[in-house]
């Protein structure tokens, strides 16, 4: 069903949104009334319980809704189809003239915080991958069920990986490469230890690339380290040895170090604890 339903859609969608994003960087325009109209259509199509006025106020709400939609019914692709087709219709509705509404400059101009602006743009950039090349990989390797299980069981860990990334980037953008690497490894870890992981490890590549595309809205020149042919599995194995453990049948993941204000009121790149799933 998935192959037949989305074969044509994915090709058109990826080319469409890439073209629009490329143009948006040179000339950012956004008609707020058009944005509200398109958001209303997206909400009606997907069934998201939110008003169009508040839909983009907090990127985590949009991000979590899309992730939950995809993973809600394990073993079925209905949620993935709904999310991808909903995003396609939303992007088509915005058109070339208003795609800037979901770009970083467009969101900043609308009054968003830097974190929310990067989060909104990053979410749509991530789903450009998940509804395109990532979808083909999921179909080829029958990996959707495993991905859904990890998204549900490890949601708190995955969210903490992203929040740690944003906290570090806000304080120290000069070391962005380090924080991007930390995010990717942190996010991949639950997929690496999942019993359902594929022999091809495509679920790990999918996890890596989804977050790499998420951060590219903030750091477009970031170096791609998720190539499916050259993905550094041995390095990831070493990361797992130090940052994952099982106690009393529960999985624990160590969060990356994070910039925080210590008891003396000074910034400190401090070690974080373990999170269980």
Cβ-contact 139, 2 below 8 angstroms: yes
Average pLDDT over residues 39-46: 98
Return the axis-axis angle of helices 202-216 and 133-141, rounded to nearest 10°: 170
Residue 200 has pLDDT above 90, yes or no: no
Evaluate whether residue 177 is within a structural domain: no
Closest C-alpha to 60, from 137, 140, 152, 163: 163
Residues β-bridged to residue 8: none
Average pLDDT over residues 254-273: 93
Average pLDDT over residues 225-239: 71
Residue 64 has pLDDT above 70, yes or no: yes
Evaluate whether residue 92 is within a structural domain: yes
- Separate counts of helices (H) and strands (E) for the chain: 12, 5
Domain that includes residue 65, residue range:
29-131
Closest C-alpha to 276, from 244, 252, 256, 246: 252
pLDDT band at 141 (very low <50, low <70, confident <90, very high): confident
Residues β-bridged to residue 261: 267
Residue 217 has pLDDT above 70, yes or no: yes
Evaluate whether residue 238 is within a structural domain: no
Rounded to whole angstroms, how far apart are CA atoms 123 and 102? 10
Evaluate whether residue 4 is within a structural domain: no
Mean pLDDT, rounded, of the chain: 88
Evaluate whether residue 104 is within a structural domain: yes
Count of domains observed in the chain: 1
pLDDT band at 23 (very low <50, low <70, confident <90, very high): very low
Evaluate whether residue 250 is within a structural domain: no
Q: What is the pLDDT of residue 176?
A: 93
Evaluate whether residue 106 is within a structural domain: yes
Evaluate whether residue 53 is within a structural domain: yes
Residues β-bridged to residue 151: none
Give the predicted TM-score (pTM) of the model.
0.86
């Amino acid at each position: 069903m998935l192959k037949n339903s989305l074969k044509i859609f994915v090709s058109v969608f990826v080319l469409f949104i890439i073209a629009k994003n490329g143009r948006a960087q040179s000339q950012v325009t956004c008609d707020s009334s058009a944005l509200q109209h398109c958001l209303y259509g997206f909400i009606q199509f997907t069934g998201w319980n939110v008003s169009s006025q508040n839909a983009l106020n907090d990127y985590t709400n949009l991000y979590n809704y899309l992730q939950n939609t995809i993973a809600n019914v394990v073993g079925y692709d209905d949620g993935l189809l709904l999310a991808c087709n909903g995003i396609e219709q939303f992007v088509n509705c915005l058109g070339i003239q208003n795609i800037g509404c979901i770009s970083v400059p467009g969101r900043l101009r609308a009054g968003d915080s830097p974190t929310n602006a990067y989060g909104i743009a990053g979410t749509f950039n991530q789903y450009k991958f998940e509804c395109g090349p990532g979808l083909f990989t999921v179909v080829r390797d029958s990996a959707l069920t495993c991905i859904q299980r990890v998204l549900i069981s490890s949601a708190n860990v995955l969210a903490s990986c992203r929040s740690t990334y944003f906290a570090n980037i806000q304080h120290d953008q000069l070391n962005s490469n380090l924080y991007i690497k930390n995010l990717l490894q942190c996010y991949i870890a639950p997929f690496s230890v999942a019993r359902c992981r594929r022999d091809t490890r495509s679920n790990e590549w999918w996890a890596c690339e989804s977050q790499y595309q998420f951060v590219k809205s903030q750091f477009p020149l970031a170096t791609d380290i998720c190539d499916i042919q050259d993905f550094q599995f041995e390095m990831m194995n070493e990361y797992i040895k130090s940052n994952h453990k099982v106690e009393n049948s529960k999985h624990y993941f160590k969060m990356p170090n994070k910039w925080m204000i210590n008891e003396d009121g000074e910034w400190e790149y401090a070690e974080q604890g373990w999170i269980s799933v």
